Amino acid sequence: MKKFLIALYQIFIFLPIFAIATIITALTVMIGCTLGNNRFWSVVPPRYWSKLACRLSLCKITVKGREKLDKNTSYVFTPNHQGAFDIFLIYGYLGQNIKWVQKQELRKIPFVGKASEIAGHIFVNQSSLKSMKETITKAEQELKKGDSITIFPEGSRTKDGTMGRFKKGAFIIAQQMQLPVVPLTLNGPFNVMKIHTYLINPGKMELIIHDPIPTQGMTEDDIPELLNKTHNEVHSGLWDIYK
């Protein structure tokens, strides 16, 4: 009965409201970034859109460690990737101006793909080495503007809730730019909407912001150690069911 009621709620309340909010937000971002201040319009409307998505999911949200961040500092955020609601949790509750490094396929999503492009988010073709290099260059350009970037080092979302191996891209950017890496631990999105499903399972979601890891003075030789340290920090915050 509970699943049936949730399905009805999702079909008749969640989806219509979310779809309308998505279109309005995307159009607002496109118009605002074209005619006005990109740093405002690329961040504020999506932040409220993300909070709306989290609230519509009927989930309890917990955020820990936001006081560790300085709004005037650029960071490279490296969260684990649990599910579709990762983006809403980070975008809505991190409290930083961020640009996403995201898969090329997301550019094809109606309204959202074009809005993301205009807002300055970074698309990457993971099958192309040239594209990966271009991604690093674009990310560095955005960081020079004073924004931060968010990259899922696993590359794709988990299939069973546990963390996968981290790839080097985020850490190469952080080392080259000498910017702090901030490990983020996400708990809950995996259960709220599991991979290959579209049914919401209301529950708890948690965002843990760990201490920034400085990279000043690091060289390419230090990247593997930086990667491992970040992986361990993210893993340390996971709920036991995901370890």
Provide the pLDDT for residue 142: 77
Residues 59 and 148: beta-carbon distance below 8 Å: no
State the sign of the Cα–Cα–Cα–Cα dihedral 211, 212, 218, 220: positive
Provide the pLDDT for residue 139: 77
Q: How far, rounded to the nearest angstrom, does the alpha carbon of residue 37 sit from its chain's CA centroid? A: 22
What is the DSSP code (8-state) at residue 204?
E
| DSSP letter for each residue of 142-196 | HHHTT-EEE--TTSS--SSSS--PPPSHHHHHHHHHT--EEEEEEESHHHHS-TT
Provide the pLDDT for residue 80: 98
**Token pair listed for 204:** 């708890």
Q: How far, rounded to the nearest angstrom, does the alpha carbon of residue 96 sit from its chain's CA centroid? A: 11
| Tokens 């579209």 belong to residue | 198
Strand positions, DSSP E, the chain = 60-64, 76-79, 98-103, 122-124, 148-150, 181-187, 204-209
d(CA 168, CA 145): 23
| Tokens 């950017």 belong to residue | 173
Q: What is the pTM of this model?
A: 0.92
**187: CB partners within 8 A, 6+ apart:** 82, 204, 205, 206, 208, 237, 238, 239, 242
Which CATH number is associated with domain 2-242? 3.40.1130
| Tokens 């159009």 belong to residue | 27
Provide the pLDDT for residue 2: 80
| Tokens 């760990």 belong to residue | 210
Per-residue pLDDT of the chain (243 residues; tens, 9 = 90+): 788 899 899 999 999 999 999 999 999 999 999 998 888 999 999 999 999 999 999 999 999 999 999 988 999 999 999 999 999 999 999 999 999 988 888 888 888 999 999 998 988 876 555 666 777 777 777 777 888 999 999 988 999 999 999 999 899 989 999 999 999 999 999 999 988 888 899 999 999 999 999 999 999 999 999 999 999 999 999 999 999
Number of Cβ within a 10 Å radius of residue 7? 12
